Each structure stands twice: as C-alpha cells, then as structure tokens.
Structure 1
Amino acid sequence: MKFTTLDLPAQVLQGIADTGFTDCTPIQEKTLPLALQGKDVAGQAQTGTGKTAAFLITLFSHLLRKEGEVAQRPRALVLAPTRELVVQIEKDAQALGAHTGLTIQAIYGGVDYMKQRNALKEGADVVIGTPGRLIDYLKQKVYTLKHIEVLVIDEADRMFDMGFIADLRFILRRLPPYNQRQNMMFSATLNQRVMELAYEFMNLPEKVSVSPEQMTAERVEQLLYHTGRKEKFPLLLGLLRKEGMARTMIFVNTKREAEFLYERLNANDFPCRVISGDVEQKKRLRILDDFKSGKLPIMIATDVASRGLHIEGVSHVINYDLPQDPEDYVHRIGRTARAGAEGKAISLADEDGAFYLEAIHEYIKEKIPVEWAEDDLIVHDYKHIKPKPKVKGEVRQRGQSHHGKRHPEAPAKEEGAGEEKKRRRRPHRKKPAGEQTPAE
C-alpha cells in the first residue's frame, strides 16, 4: 500500500515524502485505514517495523482536520516509558510534522527542568513525555489534560515492566472520557494485563497484530558462541578484530559489568562509551549522537537502550551477557537490521548465560546457530585490567567516605587499636555475698 492512496492531509503527505517513505509497512497497512477513520487501535508488531510513524501520521491527520476549531492546548499526548524513546519519537514527529504548523514538545527527566516547564506553560499542541515529569508539572498546574483529543501509549508492556503502571493510571484518569478522544496503543507485545488496560481506558479498540512465526527480524544473522568465563573477553576482542564492526552495540546485564568492559576495551584500543540508566541525561544524549554520527564505533549498553532507539547503520549487536528475560533478546538484536537493512547478532554464552538459552529458544521459536571459536579467534596478547573492588556492602571505618577512601582531615587509625577493642569485654557483675537467686 502506498501512502498516497490513503486519505491524508497534504501537509502530512509532504512530511512523509521528505522522510523518504513511500510504501506502508505491514503494521501501517493494517493500522492506518482503521485509525484514520477515528477508531481506537491496539497494535502489536516487532520493534523497528514503523509503529511510531503509524501513530504520528494518525495523530497529525486528526489534529489538522479540526484545525478550524478553536482548541485549547495540549491537544495530543504521547506516553513512552524511557527518555531515549521520547527523544526518538520527538525527532520523528518533528520530521513528519514539519509542514503541519503544530507545536511539538518533549517532556522527560534529567534535563532542562525550567525550559520544559516554560515551554509547556506557553502551550504545545503535541506533548511527548515520560509519566514521571508529566505528573510533576501536572501537580504544579503548569498544564491541563482536559482538552486532549488524541492519546497514544507506546511500549505499554514496558510500562508494566518498569513499574510505571500507577503513574500511567494517574494520568489516564485526568483525561477527557475515553469516548471523547481517540486512543492508540502500540507495543511489541500485547499481553493480558496490557489488554485489560486497553479495554479499561479505550473505546472498544481494534486489535491489530503483525506477528510472524519468526519472532526476530528476518535480515538478522544470528550466531552463538559457547565460551568459558575466562575466555569471554579474549573472544570478544577476536570478534571485533575479525568482523571489522563499523557500528557495534554491546549489551551487558549490569552497570558494573558495563564499566569494567568499557575500561578493558579502551585499554586495548577499542574506543567505546557506556549508556545505562544512571548516566546523566545530557551525557546519554551526547553519547547517542556520537554513536549515530559515526564518531563513536562501539557503544556498551544495559537494557535501557534495547527498546525504542532507531539508529541507522548498526552493523553488529553483541550480547556479551545473555539477557535473563527472553523478550529482551529480541529487542536487543532488533537494534540492527532495521528498515530493511542487514545485520549480525552475536551472543556469548558462558557458564551463567547458558541457563537462559532454553527460555530464549522457546520464545523465538528457533535455535540460535552455534559456531565454535577456533584458537586463532581468541586473543591472548591483550592488556589486562583488574576489576574495581565492590563498595556496596563493605563496612566503612570512621573517617572514611562512601567510596571507602579516608577523608584527608580524618585522624589515622592507630595500629592495633582494633584488636585491643575486640579483646575488651564488659566485666561480669559479681553477686553480693548472701544474695540468693530465685531458684534458691
């Protein structure tokens, strides 16, 4: 189906043409005819299949058709679970809505508190945000949700996983009645709890599903290497040297592992940066921009980056740690082979990761092809970096900081003082002569 065959406003068609889109993806082909008629839609499709464009085209078309009416702002609300996804949706919205004349504002935590607050107070037609900061401004009465005409919930299942469901319900209860607005929900998975939410806050939504038998993207070449924990990093170095990976995402399960891997790769002449949940937002966006532009060849990430990010030209995804949740495997490798491109996903299964393989194979309904690493693929002449000692759970001595370092002005502990204190015991109280116990 061509976009030109749909009943779309000229301004929207011009935005679509500017982005280079001509043919609808399967999810767009099933969704747009229903949504453009004003029906509520709950759409399910794999990551990277065009869900964002589907709801943005519908949203802009709806608002433009009512352009002549006197409307108060904001008129449309898009909710997403992560800051990165909000930034990505806003970028797509600015491109597709460049000729609509509608004001678009992103609201998310970590940056520009007063700037976002003032922009929201001045008025925006389309607000795209994470629940937390939207609620913050809502409680301050910076804006109102009473005039929302279109609601979009993106990655609804992730809202549940990240514990945002209470915040989501808080926002939804302050919108106009469900039959006085158009509602759309898009996600990679629409499980029972998500559909219960849809039926509670949407007006008899049409469920649209594009779920092929193959869970993973068709153009992703998957490989699995079984390796011992000690050979894992040498194998990674060998793969990086052999494959000539132009733009690579490496996924790990913990922030600590990400930082350790970052130090080891940089020490061995593989420039990389880390993006995780607790990295400052400005820094995260800067890292993403460098990675997208090609300045940064390797990005190490936890699962905060596995969903919603559209980065063109990612040649390889490496699961340095296999994910504990099989759904995260699909989302991770979905960062490559996007929009019809080809890509490669390599997973390393050590003694711990092997336990997650069965669940992953069951979820994707296929087995990941296994390759055995030849001796020449494993690098031995690399620079060794010792991991930093764990700080959490350590008992701090008086005068030490939270990082275990002694404050320069703190008095030094005398040698042997600890041992002397341990040997001290409270003397037993002597029983006065003639005193009898109750038993006597």
Structure 2
Amino acid sequence: MAAILTASSGPSYAPEDPTLPKPWKGLVDGTTGYIYFWNPETNDTQYEKPVHSSNGVPAPAQKSAVFVSSSVQKPTQGQHYDPNGRHSRGSNSKVTSLKGDQNARSSSDHHEGYDSLGVGTDISQESYCRHNEISVMGGDVPAPLTSFEATGFPSEIVREMHQAGFSAPTPIQAQSWPVALQGRDIVAIAKTGSGKTLGYLIPGFIHLKNRRSNPQLGPTILVLSPTRELATQIQAEAVKFGKSSRISCTCLYGGAPKGPQLRELSRGVDIVVATPGRLNDILEMRRLSLGQVSYLVLDEADRMLDMGFEPQIRKIVKEVPTQRQTLMYTATWPKGVRKIAADLLVNSVQVNIGNVDELVANKSITQHIEVLSPMDKQRRLEQILRSNEPGSKIIIFCSTKKMCDQLSRNLTRNFGAAAIHGDKSQGERDYVLSQFRTGRSPVLVATDVAARGLDIKDIRVVVNFDFPTGIEDYVHRIGRTGRAGASGLAYTFFSDQDAKHALDLVKVLEGANQSVPTELRDMVSRGGGMGKARWGSGQGGRGGRFNGSYVGRNGGRGGGWNNSSSERGGGRGYDRGSRDSDRYLNADASRKRSRSRSPNKGSGWSDKKSRFT
C-alpha cells in the first residue's frame, strides 16, 4: 500500500486497500508519511498489517525479534562528511559538515510515534530499528534518518523525492544514508525492492557535488551491476533524480555496440554504471580512465560473484584509487561475498535489513505451492492466467530457453505473452520489456535472466512453471512481485523431480508464515532435501549455500517438452561476445568455471495478439 503525502502533522486515511480485513483502516502519519493500522471498533493501532486468520477473523501480524546494535548513536548537530577522502578510519578527526545543523536533528524530531490514535508520542530509534528489522555492525554508527527533511539533502533532491511519490525513506535508506554521508564504507544486506538504488545514488550525488571533479578526465562514481537490465534501470534512476543537479550518467553493457557508449564517454561523464565484462573490454581499449573514481558501488554483489565475475571485479578495482569510498549491496551474505567485502572495504559499517543468516521470502507475497505432474502444468497455468483481471502483469519463469519460447507462442494469442531470455538480442529484450512495462504484453515468459534486478511496477503474479535450481533463486524469482510495500501472489509448480528442494522450500514457507501443502511435507518425510549441507563449501555454489543445488546442472524440467536448450547448465563464467549478463548460462558444460571463493473465473482476456512473436 502506497503512502500519501499530507500537509498537516496529523493522520490521514491511506489509499483504500481491498486486502485489509474489516474494520481495520490504514492511516498515514502527516509528519513522517509512515502507514499504520487502526481498528475503529477496538481503538487498537499497530504497525503490522492485519491479516485474515484461518477462521476468517482478523488476526494481527506477529512481530519478529531483531537485535539492534548498541553502537547506533544519536545524531549530533550535523551529520559530518569528508568530501576530500574517506572516513577517518576510526579516529575522531574533525571533518567538514555537509549542510550544518540542517543535516541532522535529534531523534525525537523525526522518529514516528503514536498514541492509541497514532498521534502524539515519540518512539525511540531503537523501536524504529526493531520495527523495521534493522541491525548494524560497526563503531559510532549514526542513527537512522527517518524523514527526507532530516537528511539535509539539497532542496532540489528532496523535491524530486516527493514528486516521485516517496513520503519517507525506506529502512535501508534511513540507515545507510547517514553512514554514506560520513564517507564510510558500507555493506548493506537487504532484499530486492527495498530501495537500495537510491540508498547509494543520493549520497553519491552529494559526494559528486563536493568533489567537483572534471568529467572529461573520467567518472567520479562507478557502479558495477551484474546484468544489463539492472544497469539500465540504475542509469534511469540516476538521470531522473540527478537531472536538477545536472549530473551526467553513462551505462556500459554487453550485447550492444560499443560505439555509442564510447562517444558518450568521450563527452565526459560523472557516473558510469557498468557490467563487469563490458567495462573490462573498454578498459583494455584504454578508452576510459578510472583514476578519479572516489565512490565505488557493487550492486547485487552476490549475483555478480555467482555469475563468475569475481576476477573481472578485482581487475577493475585495481584501476580505482585506494583512497575511495566503497559501498556493497547484496541480498545474501555467503562466504564469497564476505571474502570480497573483507578485501575491498576498510572499516566498513554493516547494515542488515532482516535476518541475514537465513533466506527469508517477502511476507507481503502469498505463496501457493502446487504439487502436480509435468503434464498438468500447461492446463493449470492457463487457469491461473484466466483467474486474474485482464491486463494484470504476470511473470512466468521457465528453466530453459526453448520452453520459454514454446510457452510464449502457446500463450500469445489468448494472453498477450512475450518471451525474454539470454538468446534474445539487446534490441529484442528492450522491446519485450517495454511492451511488458506498458501493458501491451502483460504476460512475460522468462528464464532466470529476469529473476533479479528487474524493477517493474505493478507485477501482480509470479508463476514458477519450473522450479529453479536452488531455493535462493526461488526467493528472488517471487521477489519480482510484492515490491515497495505492495502485496503479491506467487504460484509454484512442484513435481517429484524437485523433491530435493522440498525441505528448503518448507523452511522458506514457514519463515514467511505461509501454508505448507501436505504433499510437500510428505516429500520431506520421505527424505526430500535431506542430507544437503546448507553451509557447505560446494563448488560453483553461492559461497557454499545450499551445496549441491548448483553443481553441474544441465537440462531443464517440464516433462514431455524438449528441454535440450537449458539456461541452467554449464559454467558460471561470462559469454564469448560481451562477457556480460545472463549469456554465461548458455556456456558449454565443459567450459571451465570461474568460481567464487568464497479457480476458473472465465477468461475476460482479449484475443488480441502481442506485437512480439
């Protein structure tokens, strides 16, 4: 549910949410913009969204415990930031204030707090962190900034945030912004859709303004991204929110001609967003210098390592001055990511949103697991598509590119489907994503290339036609829905051949308070998923997590379908051409790996054909 802005300091009603059990109502605090919930019959208020219990009686959600580091400090007069270098490495040396006393307030000035009607009393920063499951590690960590006005950001940036519909910082932004504004290194561990992109871009704009480097000599900010889709989204956000500050940004990615990208670089640029392979190509051509990069970001670091980009990342970092600020964002915290963080970051602050020691699915997503035979998948899929409102955005995930194309052809006439996978050209991919975003092709059939990084609003449903190779990919797939506080639906087809993942899936379902089908529990009782080392040191895995799920898999699921063109097989290196994005998934199985160390409602759908065939 999206928050709305009000000019008054009192509460107002939030937009109507049909999923909210009666008589509960959503209210928005006029000062902070945060949503809370009020029962007018009992006069109860709570932060958590009420949910329906099994007997139909509304039941309040339960809070999950979180340990908040005692090292979080109350903000002093002015969040200090050193525009000329890094944080003082633990010393108490005086640094320059960014915007004087406007840059910080005491915690009582900006933390939300409610009495029985949600108005009036302040709550502590510890309560804010506990409610938002924020924990931190590091010395002298500043308190979270829970309103845009408390950040001291330039007025034009605050205005753009409000115009974009944001009423208050997300938890990852609230805690990482004050740390980044001090010039300190950060490791931020948060699920996708948490607002991490602006978590590093906005402090980057402030950094850039203070450095005043010459863009003709190279970028000041470098952002590394695992895929071209994510890279182009980051660039779009940088252009959108940096326009008033006249910040220039170029995106470098494979699968597209180098010429236009090189011409943009030659005109001078403040920010470069790049995938590792293409950036290395251009560095080898000596057409770009990273000599004045002083703000380095690794976005989705876990995904980059899993794709085999660690050697390229390390090679790139050698071109970046050691006197820099480094920010690493990741959804998981396996050994490989910990190792590279220890190597690249200095005296960093770790910011966690949620529990980093276990894989947790977004609780805003209702997960339906359906145990069925492969031959029943197509029929059940069409039932699900028809049960949704016409035009609803839906992503269907398949294990192979051939299955992806075949499903898309079967669904195009009745449902307006289009396909995206690693064999599509960049032009085709851009066109399909544009059609999906605008709703002209409301059904997107995809391989895991679209499982992470894509940030498309209003995705209502995710369908796992085939179960992925590991439970982490499952969590990231369904994470395409239920973003930015919205609710979502996820349907997953589970077959006997997926039994090895049954135990891990049950744990994820239970962790998100979801119902577990009896058939799935029966698989576990028969040994499905037993015997795997959850934190082993398996080769080719995600730093050892879920060992065995990622080793040497070649070939897809979907019985009866020809699945010879698997997107899940082969090595984890980069592709032959651009060395970028998902095409590494199509590598030959013999290629050497680059391992990280580490109910039917009637159709209602039109029969119009998609423009993409």
TM-score, with length taken from structure 2: 0.59
41-50 or 355-364: bigger deviation: 355-364
Distance 1:305 1:371, change over 3 A: same
1:340-359 alignment, distance < 5 Å: 340-359=485-504
Does residue 266 in structure 1 map to residue 409 in structure 2?
Answer: no
Does residue 276 in structure 1 map to residue 416 in structure 2?
Answer: no
1: CA distance, partners of 2:371 / 2:508: 20
- Aligned residue among 456, 474, 480 for 1:335: 480
Q: Which residue of 2 aligns with 1:198?
A: 341
Q: Which residue of 1 aligns with 2:584?
A: none
Q: Which residue of 1 aligns with 2:332?
A: 189
1:79-94 alignment, distance < 5 Å: 79-94=224-239
Q: What code does the residue aligned with 1:308 have? A: G
Please give the secondary structure, in 1, of the residue aligned with 2:449: helix
1: CA distance, partners of 2:334 / 2:263: 38
Distance 1:136 1:70, change over 3 A: closer
- Aligned residue among 153, 157, 182 for 1:12: 157
Q: Which residue of 2 aligns with 1:257?
A: 403
- Aligned residue among 125, 133, 143 for 2:288: 143
Please give the secondary structure, in 2, of the residue aligned with 1:231: helix
Maintained 8 Å contact 1:275/1:302: yes
Does residue 216 in structure 1 map to residue 333 in structure 2?
Answer: no
* Number of residues of Structure 1 aligned to a counterpart in Structure 2: 376
1: CA distance, partners of 2:190 / 2:300: 11
Distance 1:365 1:38, change over 3 A: farther
Q: What code does the residue aligned with 1:205 have? A: S
Q: Which residue of 1 aligns with 2:437?
A: 292
Please give the secondary structure, in 1, of the residue aligned with 2:266: helix
2: CA distance, partners of 1:150 / 1:44: 19
Does residue 100 in structure 1 map to residue 278 in structure 2?
Answer: no
- CA shift, 1:17, in A, is 2.6
- CA shift, 1:357, in A, is 2.4
Please give the secondary structure, in 2, of the residue aligned with 1:347: strand
2: CA distance, partners of 1:153 / 1:147: 17
1:19-418 alignment, distance < 5 Å: 19-67=164-212, 72-177=217-322, 180-212=323-355, 215-244=360-389, 246-266=392-412, 269-363=414-508, 365-366=510-511, 368-369=514-515
Q: Which residue of 2 aligns with 1:403?
A: none
Distance 1:391 1:8, change over 3 A: closer
C-alpha deviations, 1:327-358, integer Å up to 9, x for none?
11111111111111111111111232343222
- CA shift, 1:49, in A, is 0.5
1: CA distance, partners of 2:448 / 2:562: 22
- CA shift, 1:371, in A, is 6.5
- CA shift, 1:139, in A, is 0.9
2: CA distance, partners of 1:70 / 1:124: 9
Maintained 8 Å contact 1:260/1:387: no
Indicate the structure (1 or 2) with the bigger Cα radius of gyration.
1
Q: What code does the residue aligned with 2:330 have? A: S
Stretches of structure 2 that go unaligned for 5 or more consecutive residues are 1-145, 520-559, 567-613
Percent of pairs with identical residues:
35
Q: Which has the higher helix share?
A: 1
